[in-house]
Amino acid sequence: MGRLWIPVIFLLLSSLQSLLLLAATEGKFFVIDHSEEPTDSLLFEYGDVRKPTPTKGLLYPRESETREVRSLDGMWQLVRSDPSDPLQGIRDKWFMDALRKTGREIISMPVPASYNDITTDSLRDHVGTVWYERNFFAPRSWKTTQRTWLRFSSVHYSAVVWINGKNATSHSIGHLPFESEISGLLTFGGNNRITVMCDNRLSNRTIPQGSVYNAATDNGYVPVQSYTFDFFNYAGIHRSVHLYTTPLLHISDLEVSTQLTNEGLGRIDYRVWLDGSKEGLHIQPSHLLVQLKDKDGHVAAQQINKAVYHGTLLVPNANPWWPYLMHSDPGYLYNLQFELFVASNEEESEALQDTYRLPVGIRSLSWSNDSLLLNGKPLYLRGFGRHEDSDIRGKGLDNALLARDFNLLKWIGANAYRTSHYPYSEESMQFADQHGIMIIDECPAVNIDIFEPQLLEHHMSSLEQLIHRDRNHPSVIAWSVANEPRSNKQGALKYFQSLVNYTRGIAHGRPLTAAINANSSTCHLAQFLDIVGFNRYNSWYQNAGRTDMIINLLTTEAQSWRNKFGKPVIQFEYGGDTMEGMHSLPAFIWSEEYQVELFSRHFKAFDELRGRGWFIGEFVWNFADFRTAQTITRVGGNKKGVFTRNRQPKEVAYILRQRYFALAKELDMSELPEDLTVYISKHIHNEL
Ligand code: GCB
């Protein structure tokens, strides 16, 4: 009888978790709600769904003469909760004292990094909560004249944060930043403790979805996380943690949008938000000095703006932002400097209160039923679906990897990628701006399946946070609202109608797209989009081994999307798993030769489609091999990379490079690199 009762008791306990969490905490914690929601068979009235409140604190922390930024990256300490009792630490108030006092094993844990691949034990597959902690010093000088903010660039999936035992903030949905003012919680001129509880559990209501079930093991029942998406559910403090200071009244948010006329006149429209502490609210803003500085620091346009909250700058002979290989100086960025002045008592002068500098690229983006245009020029996107993924670090931000990836993107001649299947780091977005790589910016809604109002609320919130975070990046050319949702299901129609309606209202001058794997005849989502993107694995998941079955199927499918929706069409995923070093002549699936053959047949189909006037891009799946959950279809992970997981080229990389540069030459008159082909003989000429 004992065995039978275990799962029942477990279920009862887990349904009590939310209540316990509330009961165990005084104050204003959020409830991590993991209760399973039934069925998608009901059609909900989506009008009742609450729209997300616009988020705050999404400006990247930057130093200036009025602000300090301190990194809290480095070695933290971690303890894990018992997977069958993830909220014990809340009940027992682990946040009130040093984690070592819990008596649990202390693990040294680097931040940023996923915690999964650091240790040698079961932490890799841990389900539930882990607790992070570190100490830091807050200088005395910050106490009175500054406000101090704590900012996390990403914790996956949800987090609750305490400073010196007091609740500071909480957040859910991974891959997105959040922050809170902690001035009132700090000991200035002394030591402070920060504690973070991180929960990796996914449910029917999280973005993305997953479910936790209890599996009978040799050691009794244990919770197991399951999910349908094809990448490892890495968790932890994935990106940097910053402390930063602002003046009592400061610039808290900025929004810019740019236009470029044919005559080379640039136009920058901006909006400014100010935030004041209690003391700061008495300070009267007098004006903004806005200066646009070029790369050499020369002022290209400026304005004294008494309206403070919004304005327009005109930039004669603007240097436009162009994508890589579309111009000899791609990724041109200006520095847009905002200086807030306030009335000062001293001789009625005005004093500088706050300075924030934002990199800005001046460009126009527009689209029609046939094309997507940048600075009036139709784009043909040649790129990748990618992942933030690497050995040991998992999804942890790693600047060396980031720099290597951008070198490879440029080496191979790509001009775009999709942030499949979640928002990528802010540092990578800045890199993309600087290098002229165009981004299809995707929210974390991968494989969503069970459509219900709470999911929609979280989905809208993920888009609000993503767009809010990334709207000022010139590299962002479209928002992707989902990857492979089950968009043929009945519930998808109203769900996506509501989602897209909402997103359109905040899209900030970008078209909406999605990566769809339903068919054009059954998909309920595509009709709402500006660009129809589809994922299809011809010669892999269907007709494996038959590279002679690509061109007809692919061109017919692309045409069917076009016929039905009359919008520009793009292929967001194609490819096949390839074991590096595995060779077979003639080609056989999983060999390097097969990947080459499969790609080459796709190229032919793409060229045919390009001629039809509405096919606007080809994206390989995937840039590099990456880690997945353990399944019998994956050998050490997904091997569809053009590069290996440690970023070395497979044979296909050289072929893809020739294609991407050939397209750049044909479409954008770009130069070919000298090492694109190797010398063979004087009778065999480089035809590119
Ligand atoms: C897809 C998914 C992607 C997978 C890929 C594959 O359609 O969008 O996440 O990794 O297929 O390799 O199966």
Q: What is the 3-state secondary structure (H, E, C) of 514-552?
A: EEECCCCCCCCCHHHCCEEEEECCECCCECCCCHHHCHH
**Whether pLDDT at 569 is above 70:** yes
pLDDT digits (tens, 9 = 90+) for 328-364: 999 999 999 999 999 887 666 789 999 999 999 999 9
pLDDT band for position 3 (50/70/90)? Answer: very low
| pLDDT, tens digit, 9 for 90 and up, residues 150-208 | 999 999 999 999 999 999 999 999 999 999 999 999 999 999 999 999 999 999 999 99
Closest residue CA from atom 6 of ligand 1: 230
Using most ligand atoms within 8 A of CB, pick from 484, 534, 578, 598 the residue to mutate for ligand 1: 484
Alpha carbon distance 637, 631 (integer Å): 9
Atom number of ligand 1 nearest to Cα 638: 12
pLDDT tens digits along 604-660: 999 999 999 999 999 999 999 999 999 999 999 999 999 999 999 999 999 999 999
**Could you tell which of 535, 540, 631, 632 is best to mutate to test the pocket of ligand 1, judged by most ligand atoms within 8 Å of the CB?**
535
Q: Do strands 74-80 and 310-315 pair parallel, antiparallel, or not at all (unpaired)?
A: unpaired
- Give the Cα separation of 361 and 378 in Å (integer): 18
pLDDT of residue 118: 98
Q: Would the pLDDT of 14 be above 50?
A: no
Nearest CA to ligand 1 atom 5: 230
Cα-to-centroid distance, 296 and ligand 1 (Å): 44
666 is catalytic: no
Q: From 621, 628, 633, 640, give the residue whose CB has the most ligand 1 atoms within 8 Å, as the site to mutate.
A: 621
Indicate which residue's Cα is closest to atom 3 of ligand 1.
230
Cα–Cα distance, 656 to 442 (Å, whole number):
24
Residues with CB under 6 A from ligand 1: 230, 421, 483-484, 517, 535, 573, 621, 638, 640
pLDDT of 688 reads 63
Q: What is the Cα–Cα distance from 125 to 629, expressed in whole angstroms?
A: 10
Number of residues that make up the chain: 688
- Kindly list the structural domains of the chain, giving each domain's residue range(s) and its CATH number in brackets, ordered by start: 48-200+235-247 (2.60.120.260), 250-360 (2.60.40.10), 366-668 (3.20.20.80)
Probe residue for ligand 1, chosen from 230, 517, 537, 539 as the CB with the greatest number of ligand atoms within 8 Å: 230
- Tokens representing 486 are 């089950």
From ligand 1's centre to the CA of 535, what distance in Å?
Answer: 8
Strands 236-237 and 155-156: antiparallel
Identify which of 215, 245, 236, 13 has the alpha carbon closest to the alpha carbon of residue 109.
Answer: 236
- Taking CA atoms only, the protein residue closest to ligand 1 atom 4 is 230
Q: How far is the CA of 421 from the centre of ligand 1 (A)?
A: 10
| pLDDT tens digits along 417-446 | 999 999 999 999 999 999 999 999 999 999
CA of residue 576 to ligand 1 center, whole Å:
10
Among the atoms of ligand 1, which is closest to the Cα of residue 577? 12
Could you identify the atom of ligand 1 that is nearest to the CA of residue 483?
Answer: 8
Global confidence as pTM: 0.93
- The closest residue, in CA terms, to atom 10 on ligand 1 is 230
Three-point CA angle 178, 181, 186, nearest 5°: 125
- Dist. CA 600 → ligand 1 center (Å): 20
pLDDT for residue 458 is more than 70: yes
Query: What type of residue is 423?
Result: P
CA distances from 297 to 62, 291, 293, 300, 320 (A): 18, 10, 5, 9, 16
Rounded to the nearest angstrom, the distance between the alpha carbon of 532 and the centre of ligand 1 is: 17
Q: Which atom of ligand 1 is nearest to the CA of 626?
A: 10
Predicted confidence band of residue 561 (pLDDT cuts 50, 70, 90): very high
- At residue 47, the pLDDT reads 58
Q: What is the mean pLDDT of the chain?
A: 92
Specify the pLDDT at position 438: 98
Contact of 588 with 594, CB cutoff 8 Å: yes
Which of the residues 464, 484, 573, 597 is marked catalytic? 484
Q: What are phi and psi of 95, to 5 degrees?
A: -75, -10
Helix segments in 354-418, DSSP class H: 399-412
pLDDT category at 68 given cuts 50, 70, 90 is very high
Task: Identify the H or E element spanning 334.
Answer: strand 334-343
Segment 28-67, tens digit of pLDDT = 222 233 333 333 333 444 657 889 988 987 899 999 999 9
**Closest C-alpha residue for ligand 1 atom 13:** 230
Give the neighbor-by-neighbor strand order of the sheet with 350-360. 299-305, 285-293, 334-343, 350-360
**pLDDT tier at 281, thresholds 50, 70, 90:** confident
